[in-house]
């Protein structure tokens, strides 16, 4: 345990802790973080996907410095400011026509999804919302209320919420079986307990990330879109973690061939600064004033960061980089399945990848302790990677969009060693005593 980590334990609250190992950093550049012990750490997490441009990207630093040096206030509540207007105009140009109405800015994916959950009910007069078991839409009261992640069990859900299963092709044995089962559940819901005309919105993740990096079966979300259109249900796509180039397309929903009514952005939009955005139809987004606001929403510094991220994604062709480097990672990880019995399934698109670890391939038994030991050992060897999943057994790869192929292969080599060490019983489970994970 390093000095900084010990000092943190005597000063910073644990309320926000989601800790897997004693990571303590003092700086970073590109795909690298600098540990307080001076170690170079290769970052496959990018702070849960927020550091989309890596660390210390000059375009982001320059944009933030300019916005702070000539500061157009610190909010958009009671004044327009140029950076937030420019960013709104840019986002409107990037989403499907049906969503290109107005843009709301927030600080986080949580406050964005919470705002959508309230606005769709208020604007449509429909009291119900559908979302998925395993979904993580946020950590605030109103976003937890429409989430389905087991880590939030016991926290109150929205009274009109229906949670339905997300199709899991690995658990179901095939994409076809997964899609059929998940769609049958929705048909049953509409036939027995929920009138579709009462449903304001269906919240989806185009890849369910905290639920285990679940990639939806081909055609599944086209069918969900068809049902939504048929019943006048707004399709809300939460692109907070896997959006904005991460999957090798600008929007992750493009892989499913759908056009959401409302698109939610966060995390990587700010490149490490707190900004989120909701882009949706004018009828929803202009339903009222003084409906959802916090003082620093739409501030010009974070809006400038968002503009710099979108411009850098275009200028450095990061959509193509995510696709290329991600394909290399997927094929390299799949090759490792031959060597490591722990690897049950490798899945993802671009730089949104999940590796599910199992202790029994036939039964697909979640390898919960081995997953925790693997990420701890990887950290000891110089790689930062976290885990997700309903059973906390899915390694999550969300590296900076700027990561190079060489860095990707170097990180996978470290992971290879970590898996070998865990499989050989060389990693002491007592290391996990102070790290509760999810
Ligand atoms: C699809 C999706 N939508 C919304 C959110 C909430 O974003 P914020 O944590 O910025 O409020 C998230 C946040 N995800 C969590 C953040 C907490 C740590 C666990 N890992 C995540 O990526 C998300 O993945």
Q: Domain 59-315 carries which CATH code?
A: 3.40.640.10
Domain extent listing, the chain: 3-56+317-432, 59-315
Centre of ligand 1 to C-alpha 5, Å, is: 23
Mean pLDDT of 131-140: 98
Q: At 2, is the pLDDT very low, low, confident or very high (cuts 50, 70, 90)?
A: low
pLDDT the model gives residue 283? 98
pLDDT the model gives residue 153? 87
pLDDT single digits (tens) 297-331:
999 999 999 999 999 999 999 999 999 999 999 99
Indicate if ligand 1 lies below 6 Å from the C-beta of 209. yes
Q: What is the CATH architecture of 3-56+317-432? A: Alpha-Beta Complex (3.90)
pLDDT the model gives residue 118? 98
pLDDT the model gives residue 383? 99
Indicate if ligand 1 lies below 6 Å from the C-beta of 109. yes
Ligand 1 mutation pick, 50, 51, 109, max ligand atoms within 8 A of CB: 109
pTM: 0.98
Centre of ligand 1 to C-alpha 423, Å, is: 31
Mean pLDDT of 258-284: 98
ipTM of the modeled complex: 0.99
220 is catalytic: no
* pLDDT score of 185 more than 90: yes
Ligand 1 mutation pick, 113, 267, 388, max ligand atoms within 8 A of CB: 267
Q: At 154, is the pLDDT very low, low, confident or very high (cuts 50, 70, 90)?
A: confident
3-state secondary structure the chain: CCHHHHHHHCCCCCCCCCCCCCCCEEEEEECEEEECCCCEEEECCHHHHCCCCCECCHHHHHHHHHHHHCCCCCCCCCCCCHHHHHHHHHHHHHCCHHHCCEEEEECCHHHHHHHHHHHHHHHHCCCEEEEECCCCCCCCHHHHCCCCCHHHCCCCCCCCEEEECCCCHHHHCCHHHHHHHHHHHHHHHHHHCCCHHHEEEEEECCCECCCCCECCCCCHHHHHHHHHHHHCCEEEEECCCCCCCCCCCCCHHHHHCCCCCEEEECHHHHECECCEEEEECHHHHCCCCCCCCCCCCCCHHHHHHHHHHHHHHHHCCHHHHHHHHHHHHHHHHHHHCCCCCCEEEEEEECCEEEEEEEEECCCCEECHHHHHHHHHHHHHHCEECEEECCCCCEEEECCCCCCCHHHHHHHHHHHHHHHHHHHCCCCCHHHHCCCCCC
Atom 16 in ligand 1: which residue has the minimum CA distance? Answer: 48
């Amino acid at each position: 345990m390093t000095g900084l980590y010990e000092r943190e334990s005597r000063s910073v609250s644990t309320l926000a802790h989601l800790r897997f190992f004693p990571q303590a950093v003092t700086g970073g550049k590109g795909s690298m973080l600098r540990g307080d012990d001076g170690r170079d750490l290769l970052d496959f997490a990018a702070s849960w996907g927020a550091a989309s441009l890596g660390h210390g990207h000059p375009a982001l630093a320059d944009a933030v410095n300019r916005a702070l040096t000539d500061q157009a206030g610190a909010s958009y509540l009671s004044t327009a400011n140029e950076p937030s207007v420019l960013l709104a105009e840019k986002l409107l140009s990037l989403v499907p026509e049906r969503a290109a109405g107005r843009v709301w800015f927030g600080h986080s994916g949580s406050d964005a999804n919470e705002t959508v959950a309230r606005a769709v009910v208020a604007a449509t007069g429909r009291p119900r919302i559908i979302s998925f078991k395993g979904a993580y839409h946020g950590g605030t009261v109103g976003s937890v209320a429409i989430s389905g992640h087991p880590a939030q069990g016991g926290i109150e859900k929205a009274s009109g919420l229906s949670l339905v299963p997300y199709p899991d092709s690995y658990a179901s044995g095939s994409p076809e079986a997964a899609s059929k089962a998940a769609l049958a559940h929705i048909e049953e819901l509409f036939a027995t307990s929920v009138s579709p005309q009462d449903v304001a919105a269906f919240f989806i993740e185009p890849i369910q990330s905290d639920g285990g990096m679940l990639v939806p079966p081909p055609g599944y979300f086209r069918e969900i879109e068809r049902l939504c259109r048929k019943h006048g249900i707004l399709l809300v796509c939460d692109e907070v973690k896997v959006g904005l180039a991460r999957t090798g397309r600008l929007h992750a929903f493009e892989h499913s061939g759908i056009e959401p009514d409302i698109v939610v952005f966060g995390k990587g939009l700010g490149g490490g600064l707190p900004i989120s955005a909701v882009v949706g139809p004018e009828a929803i987004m202009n339903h009222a004033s003084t409906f959802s606001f916090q003082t620093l929403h739409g501030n010009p510094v974070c809006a400038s960061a968002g503009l710099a991220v979108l411009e850098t994604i275009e200028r450095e062709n990061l959509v193509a980089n995510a696709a290329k480097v991600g394909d290399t990672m997927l094929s390299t990880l799949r090759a490792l399945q031959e060597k490591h019995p722990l690897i049950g399934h490798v899945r993802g698109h671009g730089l949104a990848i999940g590796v599910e670890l199992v202790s029994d391939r036939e039964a697909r038994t979640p390898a919960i302790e081995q997953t925790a030991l693997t990420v701890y050992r990887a950290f000891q060897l110089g790689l930062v990677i976290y885990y997700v999943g309903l059973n906390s057994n899915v390694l999550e790869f969300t590296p900076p969009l700027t990561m190079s192929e060489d860095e990707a292969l170097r990180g996978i080599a470290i992971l290879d060693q970590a898996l070998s060490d865990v499989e050989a019983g060389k990693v002491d489970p007592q290391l996990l005593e102070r790290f509760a994970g999810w």
